[in-house]
Structures are given as C-alpha cells and as structure tokens.
Structure 1
Amino acid sequence: MFWADKIAADAQGYQVVNDSKTPSGRVHVGSLRGVVIHDVIYRALKHAGKPVKFLYGVDDYDALDTVPKYLDQEKFAPYLGFPLCNVPSPGEGASDYAKYFIGEFFEVFDYLGIKPETYFLRNLYRSGKLNTHIDTFLKNAHLVREAYKEVSKADRPSNWYPFQVICENCGKIATTEVTDYNGSEVFYTCKPDATNYVKGCGHSGWVSPFNGNGKLPWKVEWVAKWEVVGVTIEMAGKDHSQKGGSRDVANAICRKVLQKQPPFHSPYEFILVNGTKMSSSKGVGSSAKEIADLLPPELLRFLMLRTQPRTVINFAPNYETITRLFRDYDTLINKYQANGTGELTEELMPLFYAQLGDEVKAFQPFDYSTLISLLQIPRLNIQEEVVQRSPQPLNEYDQHIINQRIASAQKWLQDYADEEEKLVLYLEQVPEKANELTEEQVTYLQKLSENLQNIGNWEAEALQTLIFSTTKELQVQQANAFKAIYLSFLNKERGPKAGGLFSYLEKEFVISRLQDVVNLNLEKAKAQV
C-alpha cells in the first residue's frame, strides 16, 4: 500500500491536515515537498471516504532575521527584528512583506492543483483566538521550561516566560524578553543584546500580551495552533523531527501543559539542489516559482512523490536529471496504458497522486531529450517534426502535453543548460576540431558514410544500430568513433545520441559532411608528408 493510503487507512474520525511556512523570503522548492506530502495525505483521506480538511498557515508574526541578498539591504535593514507582517512589501500587489512572498508561493499551489484553506497567524493573534492559550502557557511557564529542559536540555531561567512582545517603542519582536506575568499584563524588556543580528532599544514596561501585542515562541505557538485550528495530522521536515528537536519539544509541551496527545507526525527529508540544502532568507537554491516555471505541474508533483518521504531528493536541473525525470514519468504512463484495466498498483500510485485531478489521463509520451535536441536544429519546424515522429496521430490532449514539454525544454535551454550541454550544429562549415582526427577515425567516417548510403530507414534507432555495427566491422573503439562523429558536426567530443542527431538532419547533408571531413583530413595528411 502507498504510504499516504496507509496513513488514511489508519485514521479514525474527522481529520484536519495542516502545514505552514514562515515567508522570510522567496520560498524555495524544498518547501514544496511538505506541501505536496500534506496534499497527498488529504487526497488519500478523501479517497478513503474519511471526513477531512486541509489547512495551510502563514507564520507571519515571526521576525525578519535576515535581509535576502536579492533585496535592497539599505531599505530593509531597519526592519530587522520586526514581525514579517509589519515589514513593507518589496513590490506591488501586496500590502506587506509576508503577503508578497507567500503570494508567489500560493501561485505555485494553484499551478499544482493544491487548494488548502489558508490562514495567517496575524489574524489568529489580533482577533484574540489565541488569547486563552497565551494565558494558559504564561500561567504554566514553569511546565514549558520543564519541557524544554527535559527534551532538548535547554535550560531557561526561572523568570523566563514563553512570550515575545512587539516593543511599543521600536516595533521589534525579536529583541524582547518577558520576565513576569500578573494575569493580565506581562513585563518585558527590549534587550540590546537579545540577538546577534539586531539590537533592542532598551525600553521596558508592562503590556497586555493579548490581541496581537506579541507572540508565543514558535515551539509553543505550534501547540497553540494545533489546538485552535484542530490539527490531527502534521508532518515535519527532518530538521524539526530529530530526537530532542522542535517537534519533540512541541509534543512534550502539548502533553505536559494541555494534557493532550499531539497530532500524528512522521518526518520527511530535505530537497537538495546540487547537493545543498536551501534557505528562503539566504536566497540559496532554486525558488518554488522558478522550478514551477520549468516543469509541467504533474512532473513537479512527480518529482516530490517518486521517492519515499524519508528519502532525500537531490535535484540538480541539469540534462541528466531532468531528462531522467521525464523518462521515469513516461515509463509509468506506458505501464498504466499497457495495464488497460485502469487498476492502480502501488508502483503506479506516485503517477496517480502526481495528477492535478483524480484520474490518470493517458497520452502518447514524446521523449523530452529528443525535444531538447530538436529545438536546437536551425530552420526546423518543431511541431511538424513531432507529428512526423509520433507513431500514432496526436489527439488534443497529446498536443497539450507536447506544448507543455516544448515550453519546458525551451526554458531549460534558456536558463539551465550549460554550454557543454547545448547542441551547436555546424551547418555551414566543417568544425575546426574535425581537422584533427586520427587515421583510424578517418577510416571509420569513410566507412560510415558508405554504409549510410545504403540505409533505407532514416530513423534514430536504425541509425544508432548502423553506427555501432560499423565500429564492429572495422574493430574501432566505440569511444573514438563517437568522438569523430561529434567533432564533425558539433566541434566537441560529446553530444546527444548520435543516431538521434543524424535523424534530425537530411541524409544527403550527413553523408556530405562526413565526406568533407574525410577529405580535409586526407589532404592535411598528404600536406604533412
């Protein structure tokens, strides 16, 4: 059984699935993994006929702790330590910083067919919905301190209270420390040395902790959120799920202070981009919006779902990784169609949950790597070429998928392809490096051009087979043979599948080019003698 279906099968009664994000900057693609995982749990519960709601919270009362490198440092540095919702918007279309960055992320939700009910922490605090829990945690501060010490060995002083006031003088929330509570007001100090990234102003005084005047520390806030919105299922990333980590502390506070069981939890792993964990505020890694602009929605969902949640995804949008992603997806589409019954085996469940709706819609897969190559052939009509190369006539949905993939391949070539990965065809003249072939390579190209004269089927597989058989015929090392081909057409030693490369070009041109290369090398050899 697929992992999400197991969770759904075990769930009893009404379920509330919850996920959340602090919009400290452009949201990276790593944050999408949790979103997709929670969405799939929600869908699995619906398919199992269980009553369920999916919520997504925006933790916009958290402090701005870094100005991302892509923002104006001078403009935003004065707002360090402020609640994100009290920081100005970096651009038009949003009232503040938090709504600006979460708005971009929510656009990706729509793109992926993810439709949770959203809520903002500012509204929970300012409306008074968290007041009761703020009072409970302040009155039981000794139990919160105990939970921190027992679980994470963090020792809080006896006058530490789990609350941060928004300083009435300077507006910062990151620098304030509460040291007393009289049942209606807290005493706080805005400490100059509270953090290593911004100084507090030194102001102190008594203020009500209710109706948005401050916030709970996030491990305590997590527990309050569970209670206020009724969460029953909330997964967490590996960083929060380690022994003695944030989730363990929150669970302990939930049991110790509220005397309730915390929601169901299971950890999930990171997404690494080129082996690096990503950070919103540091601007490291590819943003969710950028990857959504690159991949069709089903492929982006599939990227998150083809591995188990506890397995790291290392996504590098290079040629090998992106073409394998499409190939793996197409393999499952072909298996689903070959099945013919519409039955979804466990192997096919990632494909099912990668869809935006509740069905797998079959189509004729067209190889993504071939599209990347075709798009780089000058004067070639890509749409006509796809129609010619498709084994069956394309229906409307086939064409829709093709158009998505063409747009994706164009985006990849424009924004992600290294120069080494780009196909630069020398159509007008023989490449410079093709004049430097060995005698063995020249003999091979001569024989290959003769064999190509007699081939009737000018298609990639047949051509690839002929290229290989010619190496065997002459007992030439394959690596040397392919190097000679690529140098003759691309001026570099590596390239796409050679049979595919030839199939994109006219037969007469290929044979003529091979002959030109042979003649140039023979003339050069004679001149040297």
Structure 2
Amino acid sequence: MAQSTDADWVSRFADEVIAEAERRAPGKTIVCASGLSPSGPIHLGNLREVMTPHLVADEIRRRGHDAVHIISWDDYDRFRKVPAGIDPSWAEHIGKPLTSVPAPAGSEYPNWAEHFKAPMIAALAELGVEFRGISQTEMYTSGAYREQILLAMRERNTIDTVLDRYRTKKPAKVSADEDEAAAAEGSGAAGEDDGKAAAGYFPYKPYCSVCERDLTTVTAYDEASTELAYTCQCGHSETVKLSEHNRGKLVWKVDWPMRWAYEGVVFEPSGVDHSSPGSSFQVGGQIVGEVFGGKQPIGPMYAFVGISGMAKMSSSKGGVPTAADALQIMEAPLLRWLYARRKPNQSFKIAFDQEIQRTYDEWDVLTRKVTEGTANEADTSSYGRAAGTATGPLPVTPRPLPYRTLASIVDITTGQDEQTLRILRDLDPADPITSLDEARPRLDLAQHWITTQVPADQRTQVREEADKELLDSLGDTQRESLRLLAEGLDEHWSLDGLTTLVYGVPKIQAGLPADTKPTPELKVAQRNFFALLYTLLVSRDTGPRLPTLLLAVGADRVRRLLGQ
C-alpha cells in the first residue's frame, strides 16, 4: 500500500478512509460523497466540494480498492431568491423545488436545476471526475426515502432534543450573503428552519399541492395512520398520508444525516462553518447515530477558493467563474493541480487575470522537474493526481509552449492562424512547429483568455507607422541602440536569439562582453532601451516580452517602425 507523507494530504486521507471503511463494513465499496445545489452557477468554490472526495476516491481506486464517488444533486431544495441578472418575475417561484422552477429565459433545459447542472456535469467529465449522480428530486418523489421519513417522524422527539441542545447557543458569525452561507454549510441549505413549529416539532416539510411552494406548516401528525395535516400561506389546507406522500422532504439538518446512513458514506468534506455550534455537520453527527443507526463520515473542513482580483465568491452577485469558465482558459490538469496541491483547509485563489501566466509557468516548471526526476515527493504526487486519474492520463498539449508566449502572440495577431503559425515556427527554427494543432488546446485557451479577460485598453496594438517625431528627437546613443538591434535581427531570429540580442545591445554599447552579469547601471540602461522599443512598437512603455513581440511584428516591420 502507498505510504503517505505529511505533505501529501490525499494519501493521508486515503489511509484513514480505507481503515475506517474496513472497521465499518469490510470488503464493501467505499463511498465518498459530495453535495451540490444547482440553485445558480456552480462556481469554483463549490468545485472544492467535489475535487476533495474525487482525489481521495481516486487514490483509493489506484490502490486497488473498490470506491465510488457520489454527488447528491440537491435539486429538491427550495428556490431561495432570484440571482442577479435573472428576470425579477422569477420571484413568483420562490419556495418551489428547484426542479419545478422554469429554466432562465432562452435555456434549452426543462427546469432551473437542469440548466445549472448541465455545465457542471460537462466540466467534471473534462476534468476526469467519475461519479454517480443522485437527484434528490428523484429520490424523494419516487418514495425511495419513505421508510427513513416515517422513522424520522416517529423519532421526532429524539431529533428535537438533539437540536434543542444547540438552539440557545450563540451561532457563529453568519455571512451577509445567503448563498455563501449555504455553500459554507455544505451540500444543503444553511438558513433553513429545523422543523420547530407551534404545534410541535416535525422534521418533514411538505410542498403545497396547490402552489408547489414550501410555505407550509405541519399542524398535526397521527403516527398510526401516518396522516399529516398542513396549512400553506397560499390559503390551502390539506391532510395527506405520509406513507403515500411524495411531495415533501426532510429538513436539512435531518436530511443530511439520513443520507449518510442511507448511502453508507465514509468520507465527505464540509464547509468551514461546520466548526460552529449547531452546524449541520455537528448536529448531523448525533442524529445519524441516535435516529438512523448510521455513522458520521470522516472528512475535512475545506476553506474558500477565491479569484484573483475578485471578492470571495458568491453566485448571487452574478458573473462568478464556474469550472466551465476556468476550462475555457486553462487545461484540465492545471485546474486539477490547483486543488490537489493545497490541503483542503488552505484557502487559495484561481487566477483569471495576469497571474494565470505565472501559474502556468509554475506548472511547466513542475512538469519539467517531474519528467527529469528532480521534483520532491509531495510535488510529484500532486502532479500525478493532476495529470491523470486511476483510469489513465488526461489529454495534454503536444507542444506545451509557455502560456505567456502564446497569449502575447494571439494578442498581437488577433488570432490570425497564418500569422500565428509563422511566429510559432520562428520560436525554435531548429525544431519548428508545423501545425497549430501541436500547440492546442493551450493556444486556444490563451486566445480565449486574451479576448475575454484582458481589458481592451491592455491589449497590444502594434503601430501602423513609425513615430517620426520621437525618432527625430532621439540622441546618438539611442539611435545607435536601434541600429544595433535592427542589424542583429536576422542573425538572432528565434526566441532565444532575440532574448540574447535585446539584453545584449546595452552591453555592447557599454563595451562589455555579452556574458557580463548585469550591474545596477547596466540594468537601468536595459530598462531604458526596452521602454524605447515598446514606445516605438506599441506606443506604451511596457508590453509583451520583447523577444515574442519582435517575432510577432516581423523583422521588416520592426526595422520600419524603428526607422532603420
């Protein structure tokens, strides 16, 4: 069996889960679980709810054990509020199950839940996440949980006693944003009432048969006949037989532990707010044993995931990046790596701004070290979990050129294939790229990043004509630097060659050998030279890396813009 290291959190949890599963039910399939509510865009913070058990379940499978990763789609949760950007008239559906709410206007999907599940399911497939999806709408409306519901109603006093231990305790600080609070509480609803009513405690909440909403209050229950009476704020009153009724659900703090027992969950992570008194996870740990005869899963609390340049994620604010959004600008192994390399209790940010270039640089360095056998054990493990799963490797770009180089090229060429291929060929004349497909999908992802994430005023616009006024104002030293560069273009026409050239011109002017280590004075001269080149080429004093920019502009046009 693989031995875990302190830094390799996945192996450590796999050790614990395998041992726990053997204590509970030797030889049975090990169940790891996630829960997602398709109440809106399922963002990159929610993805941690999936990636944590995925990585652990995958490690367990790599070791030859039978493991399944289930994702409970909480699509039978109530529709809480209308997200930003949606027609306000959808407020009439608040209180209905998510599967009974119409999809946003123009959607191809039959309801709200399916509309938001679909892109997540597609993204998980691309990420190599194998799972068994469980629709809670299907489970509840099919009567699959009938015995569990009747049991909960019989044991409602026991449940009420457990909950009562925490009702008077001071709650943890609650997020001002309801969606953030719900995400922190795990796979269900954070702020949902726990079933306490004037007529007593009832852990089951029916959806009204007239208005379909959960604005109902249970007024009586007869255990012998299972007749349950309820009233709704819409004015409807009704008595149903719970032994036959399939239009309602257990309140969240009872529903979650019921499912732990029903599915035999051994491992499931939870949000950071579970450290608070009365949290769903803490209360559920008692209810699952005292009522349902099961055991609470083991699993870590996970920290939030942020986006560089954005506040903590909340789907209610609109425009929050999802896994599908991330996969339009980064390859699946890279996105997996961001979750695999950090322990669940460590927060981290995913870059949609310029930082994505540095993230890709780190990934490429790690790839090289792993290939050479020089990476340490923890980095090698996180790389292996990112690059593939127990079933095999994930697709990669055949020629993974630096992301920042590709981004600069497509920025300058505005995605013109012929010009892009010319520049890619010139990057390494000794081993030229002969087809854009060799650089895909990374090339296309870099292009999408440039066109969707880089503001127009930060895009590179190469000058059409030389800046004659600036050229005429230059002194002899500056003119000489431009001449030296122009004369050396043909001889140095590759990425490495042009790098040597642009750094070397100030050295030549200072009478220094090309291999001279830069002094503070030389660095100043280089910076001034670079600023001059940028100004003459793109009318700004900064821009893409100069060697890449020169390749993209082309030698003849560079000479013209430099007045040579």
Q: Which residue identity lines up with residue 299 of structure 1 in the other structure?
A: L
Distance 1:438 1:496, change over 3 A: farther
Q: How far does residue 406 in structure 1 lie from its aligned partner after superposition?
A: 1.3
- CA deviations over 1:362-410 (Å, ceiling 9, x no partner): 85431111111112334753234324424775899x9756110111111
Q: Provide the rounded CA distance (Å) in 1 between the counterparts of 2:381 and 2:545.
A: 32
Counting only pairs closer than 5 Å after superposition, residues 275-354 of structure 1 correspond to structure 2 as 275-319=310-354, 321-339=355-373, 345-354=377-386
Contact 1:9 1:48 (8 Å CA) reproduced:
no
Alignment partner, residue 190 of structure 2: none
Matched, 1:5 2:41: no
Q: How far does residue 450 in structure 1 lie from its aligned partner after superposition?
A: 3.1
Matched, 1:26 2:41: yes
Q: How far does residue 361 in structure 1 lie from its aligned partner after superposition?
A: 7.8
Alignment partner, residue 186 of structure 1: 228
Aligned with residue 446 of structure 1, among 479, 483, 488: 479
Deviates more, 1:162-171 or 1:181-190: 181-190
Alignment partner, residue 206 of structure 1: 239
- CA deviations over 1:199-254 (Å, ceiling 9, x no partner): x3243343234542211111211111112222111112224455542221222322
Matched, 1:149 2:167: no
Q: Provide the rounded CA distance (Å) in 1 between the counterparts of 2:426 and 2:364.
A: 20
Q: Which residue identity lines up with residue 367 of structure 2 in the other structure?
A: I
Q: Provide the rounded CA distance (Å) in 1 between the counterparts of 2:459 and 2:411.
A: 8
Q: Provide the rounded CA distance (Å) in 1 between the counterparts of 2:432 and 2:216.
A: 64
Aligned with residue 170 of structure 1, among 211, 235, 250: 211
- CA deviations over 1:45-80 (Å, ceiling 9, x no partner): 001122211111111111111122333332x22211
Q: Provide the rounded CA distance (Å) in 2 between the counterparts of 1:152 and 1:435.
A: 76
Q: Provide the rounded CA distance (Å) in 2 between the counterparts of 1:391 and 1:239.
A: 56
Q: Provide the rounded CA distance (Å) in 2 between the counterparts of 1:502 and 1:48.
A: 51
Q: Which residue identity lines up with residue 492 of structure 2 in the other structure?
A: N
Q: Provide the rounded CA distance (Å) in 1 between the counterparts of 2:321 and 2:563.
A: 46
Q: How far does residue 415 in structure 1 lie from its aligned partner after superposition?
A: 0.9
Q: Provide the rounded CA distance (Å) in 2 between the counterparts of 1:394 and 1:496.
A: 22
Report sequence identity in percent. 25
Distance 1:166 1:489, change over 3 A: same
Unaligned runs of 5+ in 2: 23-27, 170-193, 511-520
Q: How far does residue 31 in structure 1 lie from its aligned partner after superposition?
A: 1.7
Aligned with 1:303: secondary structure?
A: helix
Q: Provide the rounded CA distance (Å) in 2 between the counterparts of 1:443 and 1:247.
A: 74
Q: Provide the rounded CA distance (Å) in 2 between the counterparts of 1:285 and 1:67.
A: 15
Alignment partner, residue 451 of structure 2: 414
For this pair of structures, how many residues does the alignment match? 497
Alignment partner, residue 521 of structure 1: none
Q: Provide the rounded CA distance (Å) in 2 between the counterparts of 1:388 and 1:464.
A: 13
Q: How far does residue 21 in structure 1 lie from its aligned partner after superposition?
A: 1.0
Contact 1:303 1:325 (8 Å CA) reproduced:
no
Contact 1:448 1:467 (8 Å CA) reproduced:
no
Q: Provide the rounded CA distance (Å) in 1 between the counterparts of 2:388 and 2:440.
A: 17
Alignment partner, residue 201 of structure 2: 160
Contact 1:137 1:162 (8 Å CA) reproduced:
yes
Alignment partner, residue 180 of structure 2: none
Counting only pairs closer than 5 Å after superposition, residues 53-452 of structure 1 correspond to structure 2 as 53-74=68-89, 76-90=90-104, 91=106, 93-151=108-166, 153=168, 156=196, 159-173=200-214, 175-183=215-223, 184-190=226-232, 200-210=233-243, 211-240=245-274, 242=276, 244-273=278-307, 274-319=309-354, 321-339=355-373, 345-357=377-389, 358-359=392-393, 364-378=399-413, 381-390=419-428, 393=431, 402-426=439-463, 428-431=464-467, 435=469, 442=475, 445-452=478-485
Distance 1:415 1:152, change over 3 A: farther
Alignment partner, residue 550 of structure 2: 502
Aligned with 1:188: secondary structure?
A: strand
Contact 1:352 1:360 (8 Å CA) reproduced:
no
Q: How far does residue 30 in structure 1 lie from its aligned partner after superposition?
A: 2.1
Q: How far does residue 331 in structure 1 lie from its aligned partner after superposition?
A: 1.2
Contact 1:138 1:163 (8 Å CA) reproduced:
yes
Give the TM-score of the pair, scaled to structure 1.
Answer: 0.84
Q: Which residue identity lines up with residue 86 of structure 1 in the other structure?
A: S
Aligned with 1:276: secondary structure?
A: coil
- CA deviations over 1:145-174 (Å, ceiling 9, x no partner): 33333346469567132121111232111x
Aligned with 1:164: secondary structure?
A: strand
Q: Provide the rounded CA distance (Å) in 1 between the counterparts of 2:51 and 2:291.
A: 32
- The alignment yields a C-alpha RMSD, in angstroms, of 3.0
Aligned with 1:504: secondary structure?
A: helix
Deviates more, 1:88-97 or 1:221-230: 88-97
Alignment partner, residue 526 of structure 1: none
Contact 2:45 2:306 (8 Å CA) reproduced:
yes
- CA deviations over 1:486-506 (Å, ceiling 9, x no partner): 211111222122233224333
Contact 1:364 1:394 (8 Å CA) reproduced:
no
Q: Provide the rounded CA distance (Å) in 2 between the counterparts of 1:394 and 1:239.
A: 53
Give the TM-score of the pair, scaled to structure 2.
Answer: 0.80
Q: Provide the rounded CA distance (Å) in 2 between the counterparts of 1:409 and 1:361.
A: 17
Distance 1:224 1:339, change over 3 A: same
Alignment partner, residue 519 of structure 1: none
Contact 1:295 1:408 (8 Å CA) reproduced:
yes
Q: Which residue identity lines up with residue 223 of structure 1 in the other structure?
A: P
Distance 1:305 1:46, change over 3 A: same
Contact 2:74 2:136 (8 Å CA) reproduced:
yes
Distance 1:503 1:347, change over 3 A: same
Distance 1:261 1:152, change over 3 A: farther
Q: Provide the rounded CA distance (Å) in 2 between the counterparts of 1:36 and 1:375.
A: 32
Q: Provide the rounded CA distance (Å) in 2 between the counterparts of 1:409 and 1:317.
A: 11
Q: Provide the rounded CA distance (Å) in 2 between the counterparts of 1:19 and 1:492.
A: 49
Q: Provide the rounded CA distance (Å) in 2 between the counterparts of 1:490 and 1:25.
A: 42
Alignment partner, residue 35 of structure 1: 50
Contact 2:260 2:294 (8 Å CA) reproduced:
no
Unaligned runs of 5+ in 1: 191-199, 517-529
Q: How far does residue 418 in structure 1 lie from its aligned partner after superposition?
A: 1.6
Contact 1:16 1:52 (8 Å CA) reproduced:
yes
Distance 1:437 1:136, change over 3 A: farther
